[in-house]
Structure 1
Amino acid sequence: MIMKVLRMLISLFLLSLVIGQLPVIKVSASSMEGIPAKYTSEITYLVGKSVVKGYPDGHFHGTDEVTREQAATMVGRALGLNGQVRKSAFPDVNERSYASGYIQSAVEAGIIKGYPDGTYKPKSMMTRGEMAYLISHALDLEDTSDISYKDVNQKSPVYQSVNLLTTAGISEGTPGGYFLPGKTITRTEFSLFVARGLNSDFKVSQEEDLEVLSEKVVDADFLNVRQGPGTQYETVGRLMTGETVSVYKKEGDWRFIHSGNLKGYVHSYYLLDKPQGNWTIALDPGHGGRDPGASANGLVEKELVLDVSLKASEYMENTGVDVVMTRQTDWYPSLDGRVALATKNDADAFVSIHANAFASSATGVETFYYAAGLSNREYASVKLATFINNRLYKEMDMSNRGVKNVGYRVVKHNPLPAVLTEIGFLTNETDASKLKTDHYREAAARAIAMGVVDYYNWKE
């Protein structure tokens, strides 16, 4: 145990020395120029411990990068490895290089490794991913957690190291939920990693003292995530319709949220409650296969509604609601077959998606349900139709033709709360011009998906 602690401390010291590979002079933090104001505390701390030293010109040079041979040499010296200049396992390392012995010894000790092509690239700058590997091994980190970066998936060779570093509070990635593992690491970044490894006061806050207050769903085309609770704060990322966030605290109308590794503040107006039940919605793109539906103004109904339905399904992926599609390609399931498929897959509500056709002057959106009386199923159908229609006419910027009681087969002969929504008239030039665009197809899909979320929140 003692040897393990000593090895960790030596490794930390070694890591810090990589920063000062060029000739240095002793200098105080107060006399060193070029220290980023944002990180004065961390770098001053390292200067006070003689971890960071000044260059002959008295500058910090925070944007300078660290090479792989510098890192290997410092690792070798710190761990007492054999530094005798000699031939290494890598053909691109000159055996007379000052670093050759340390590189070979570090490889034998399992501290560093080369590239898949058998080279080491000693003059190459070390990347953030490589440094994550080095620091996580030097500190003997063991704890991992459920972290995610947009550019580091679980199959990535650096995923484990990045996870260890993030879980330890040494790194939190970059704005927007990225880690940038292939980006070279600078003296400033490296200084921050070392300071956080040496002193827990500098570690990235993991909000361990905060509990999740609620789960929400984003209800906006896109939602800016900001550094603080107000529009005056810098944007650090964006969220899209249907993405789920965890709310950790409230500040007025603003909420501090996490979504993956994206953290920041969003306005509460653009958040819906995330349905908590185990809900499954059946989405039914009308017509298909041998039945094209309506055709006008260059549009074919079966193609249009399939596209919108697939988009709606994508919006629902992160809302906590499962989706059953009655068709995902151009084929024709019978009307009764659509209902049977929904019930067989344990759907608890049914939405059939269509486009209208009539006189060229007819325009707008409308949604249908069926009710002979007002049973629980029928009342739920009315609510589902209302939630979807209220969003649909606004998103489509079309006239609202309302919610109507009509006995279409898929809504009348259906044991589930069921609706049939018409997203516009193919026979109307204005409606059709919108339905030809991806913008309005996305709008229709959002309206349907978020209307379903409204419905399930009402159910709860």
Structure 2
Amino acid sequence: MLLKKIINSSLIILSLMVFVLADQANASQNYSDIPSNHAAYKEINFLTNLGVLNGYEENGKMLYKPEIAVTRAEAANMLIIALGQSPLTGSTSSFSDINAGTSESGYIEKAVELGLFPTTSNGEFRPNEPLTYEEVSYILTKAFNLNTKEASTYGSPFLDVTSKSKFFEYINAAFYNGITQGENGYYCPNKSVTREEFALFLARAKSKTYRLKLPAAPTARVTGAKGQAVVSVNDLNVRSTPNSSSKANIIGRVNKADILDTFATSSGWVKVAYKGRYGYVSNKYVKNKTVKEDRSLNSTPTKVIHSNDSSSPTIQASVTTDSLNIRSGAGTSYKVIGKLSYGTNINVDSISGNWIKITYNGVTGYVSKTYVKLLNQTDNLTLKNKIIILDAGHGGKDPGATKGSIYEKNITLTITNLVVQKLEEAGATVFATRIGDTYPSLEQRVAFAKSKNGNAFVSIHVNAAASAAASGTETYYYVKANEDDRKDKYLASAINNEIVENLDMRDRGIKNYPYYVIKNTSMPSVLVELGFITNSNDLLKMTTDKNIDLYATSIYNGIEQYFSKY
């Protein structure tokens, strides 16, 4: 009797296992044309199991047909099911090309009621037309409430989409949320979306599990754009700095008829937004630009202010490194109590210097501000309306310290331009003594700084020594005996400490020395020696993209710390 019960129980369990496996197989439908190694295999099966996708039965096989285009009607159907909504029923149609009472009509009417499709002026829905890339960015942004306010301030990551493009804010929102991506720098907004692509995009929007690695927020902000430029040649170099003396500053190329948002022009160069960052192109090879002079000598400044999301009073931040330590206190000596992955959004409790206090998944701790991007911060009151003069050392006929073909003047200019961008984005008014490979004299630099009535002056340099063993960062200030040196010393110390900590530099300290540009200015002034061009380790740090940006971030952080105190 006992044996019979055991056998019966085993049969019941086996039956349940067979039923579950059969149900799972039925849910995925085993599309013959979607093998397990297919690029969209997981996303297609995820949506199929939710009842969003269906296949085509042909010759006894179930096919997905990933390569065919998705129509606007099919997109409306799949989107409503994915959202858990029900189709509308009614005896009339809102569109002249849709028959009322049909299944197609119900899903389309519901999608339009939810505002998921852009309206048309001729009363047609165009149900059988392929869905385009620009349209998919619109409907997914609307359906899943992606934040377009912040995204609309970013420079476009695509060469065929600018701030004037019809669907600009939606394309940006989809891209910066890890849902869509372009190809070779182009988005192709009028390209038809295939069934494979729609499954990828919809799965990413529906579940963060499938999202692409989030791109870092760009440095270029289109809120400061003055106009647009049309490229007139193919393979035009875009450079990180406005000079053509070296290939090292080339960050990409654009082609004839590409359109770029423009910000300023000076000395034969146009400042543009390129793939979400600032760059420079030669004035000779673009046309139709409407721009103003840049913030170099004898020019006026351009302010760029962060947008404010009044509905979200809590400041949020996004992690910009692969593994960010959460520490028990505000410093690297404190115990690591957790880690955050790239793209994780966190609420900010408070900010003190270079450390942010956070609470994440019930854990309260501190993270370095260097490795997060503040998202919905209101205008940075610490830096707002502060006037800051930046001085890239040497330039033009004066290369500064050299090591082979590497010149101090190029290192200082690259880093200075990055600091300008970071300060402007925080609401500061920034003037640069040079923005290209020019040589203002020391007297001109001082006179320029005085004429702007600045709140702080920072001159950026690179060190050199006869011995290759000499290394490290040092920062100079100058005050005469019996003068109040607190502000100058604090500014020097804040910048120096940031560079030493963030780039693991030898700390050579801060020093009082009468260098001309800091002796003769009339505001708190410092001269930063980033590292030694004659030391291989220092040189490597000053010439790699990741560390160049970290130098700029460190100088920015030091300036911000100074203004939080004075």
| Structure-to-structure mapping, 1:245-260, within 5 angstroms | 247=348, 254=358
Aligned residue among 161, 167, 173 for 1:158: 167
> In the alignment, which residue of structure 2 is the partner of 1:423?
530
**Aligned match of 1:148:** 151
Which residue, out of 303, 310, 328, partners 2:417? 310
Q: Provide the aligned C-alpha RMSD in A.
A: 5.5
Aligned 8 A contact 1:288 1:332 in 2 = yes
Shift of 1:382: 0.5
Does the 8 A contact of 1:223 with 1:266 survive in 2? Answer: no
Structure 1 letter corresponding to 2:177: G
Partner of 1:356: 463
2:510 to 372, 395, 403: 403
Aligned length: 348
| Structure 1: unaligned runs, 5 residues or longer | 1-31, 85-105, 114-119, 167-171, 195-207, 239-244, 257-264
Aligned match of 1:176:
177
Q: Is the contact between residue 77 and residue 83 of structure 1 (CA under 8 Å) also seen in structure 2?
A: no
- TM-score between both structures, scaled by the size of structure 1: 0.56
1:77-226 counterparts in 2 under 5 A?
78-79=93-94, 81=96, 109-112=122-125, 122=128, 124=130, 126-127=131-132, 129-130=134-135, 146-148=149-151, 154-159=163-168, 162=170, 173=174, 176=177, 186=198, 211-214=312-315, 222=321
Alignment partners' CA distance in 1, 2:405 and 2:55: 70
CA distance in 1 between counterparts of 2:137 and 2:487 reads 53
| Partner residue of 2:432 out of 325, 331, 340 | 325
- Sort the Cα spacing of 1:233 and 1:284 in 2 relative to 1 into closer, same or farther, 3 A: closer
Alignment partner of 1:67 is 2:71: yes
Q: CA contact under 8 A between 1:434 and 1:440: conserved in structure 2?
A: yes
Change (3 A) 1:154 1:386: same
Deviation at 1:293, TM superposition (A): 2.3
Q: Against the structure 1 CA distance between its residues 380 and 131, is the aligned structure 2 distance closer, same or farther, given a 3 Å change threshold?
A: same
* Helix, strand or coil at the partner of 1:446: helix
- Listed one character per residue, the Cα deviations across residues 349-405 of structure 1 (whole Å, up to 9, x for unaligned) are 0111112233314322211101114645x3211101001111223344332111001
1:367 aligns with 2:496: no
Q: Counterparts of 2:511 and 2:520 in 1: how far apart (Å)?
A: 16
- 1:442 positional shift: 3.3
Distance 1:298 1:77, change over 3 A: same
The one-character-per-residue Cα deviations of 1:112-161 (angstroms, maximum 9, x if unpaired) are 47xxxxxx9x463x246425768999x9xxxx97352666764222247x
Higher relative contact order (CA 8 A, sep 6+): 1
Could you tell me the TM-score, scaled by structure 2's length? Answer: 0.47
Letter in 2 for 1:130: E
CA drift of 1:328 comes to: 1.3
Asked whether the equivalents of residues 352 and 421 of structure 1 are also in contact (C-alpha less than 8 Å), the reply is: yes
SS at match of 2:508: strand
Instruction: State how far apart, in whole Å, the 1-side matches of 2:140 and 2:507 are.
Output: 60
CA shift for structure 1 position 417: 0.3
* 1:244-323 equivalence runs, <5 A: 247=348, 254=358, 268-271=366-369, 274=380, 275-323=382-430
Q: Quote the Cα distance in structure 2 between the aligned partners of 1:176 and 1:364.
A: 39
Contact map agreement 1:355 1:425 (CA 8 A) in 2: yes
> In 2, Cα distance between the equivalents of 1:215 and 1:319?
15
Structure 1 residues 287 and 159 mapped into 2: Cα distance closer, same or farther (>3 Å)? closer
Contact 1:72–1:112 (8 Å) recurs in 2: no
In structure 2, C-alpha distance between the alignment counterparts of 1:267 and 1:344, rounded to whole Å:
45
SS class of match (2:427): coil
Distance 1:338 1:188 in 2: 54
Conserved 8 A contact 2:348-2:358: no
Listed as ranges, the gaps of 5+ residues in structure 2 are 1-25, 30-42, 78-86, 100-118, 182-188, 207-308, 325-336, 375-379
Secondary structure class of the residue paired with 1:415: coil
Q: Which residue of structure 2 lines up, in the alignment, with residue 380 of structure 1?
A: 487
Name the one with the larger helix percent. Answer: 1
What is the alpha-carbon distance in structure 1 between the residues aligned to residue 553 and residue 200 of structure 2? 43
Contact 1:111 1:134 (8 Å CA) reproduced: no
Amino acid paired to 1:368: Y
After superposition, the Cα gap between the structure-2 partners of 1:157 and 1:111, relative to the gap in structure 1 and judged at 3 Å, is: farther
Residue 409 of structure 2: SS of its match in structure 1? helix
Paired residues of 2:315 and 2:347 also in contact (CA < 8 A): yes
Q: In the alignment, is the contact (CA less than 8 A) between 2:347 and 2:358 conserved in 1?
A: no
Q: 3-state DSSP class of the match of 1:78? A: coil
